[in-house]
Amino acid sequence: MLNRHARGFFTALFTPLARWLLKIGISPDAVTVIGTAGVVVGALVFYPFGQLWWGTLFITAFIFSDVLDGIMARMREVGSRWGNFLDSTLDRIADGALFAGLAVWFFTGGANVPIAVAAMVCLVLGMVVSYARAKAESLGFTANTGIAERAERLVSVLVVTGFTGLGLPEVVLLVTLLLLAVASFITVVQRVVSVRRQALAEPSPAD
């Protein structure tokens, strides 16, 4: 949903910056790498020390690189399979760092094991959601369905984590992570069912 409704807004917002970066010689790949590095630093440096609010602000400053690099690639008309591969791979690293950072803090100084476990479950299921789509597409199927796309996962966890750092009760973060885990599991099931239906609709070799 966010991907559909926010794309136009963020494209208009970041187009001037994208144009300027291209003008000074910055490539879309460089933006992808820098953005991922920023997210990883924010998640694995700020979060494990309990700096949930400042960590979220730091991560947010870099998370929009995922939009910016796409705009830059389209402006240069150099969209490539390499760029798509790099972007998808680094997205997984960023997502993993985000949930791992939360888990580290709540397993240690945050002393809230349920939240830590929920974060790890979200990490694993989030990877499966992405893998299911990638594997389906590598086999010639489509699997872009589901109620827990990456944008929804990131927005929900970042907003609630940030406000938890400002005093929001931790139970809100726990509920958010549990709901996200359930939504991710449902998304995995939806994608498996979708691919299964496509596979059954294919003509058999005998035909």
Active site residues: 91
Q: Give the helix ranges, DSSP H, for the chain.
A: 2-23, 28-41, 52-63, 65-76, 81-107, 113-138, 150-165, 170-201
Give the whole-angstrom CA distance, residue 132 versus residue 146: 11
Residue 17 burial class via C-beta count within 10 angstroms: exposed 0-12, middle 13-18, buried 19 and up? middle
**Rounded distance between C-alpha atoms, residue 43 and residue 47, angstroms:** 5
Residue 143 structure tokens: 């699997």
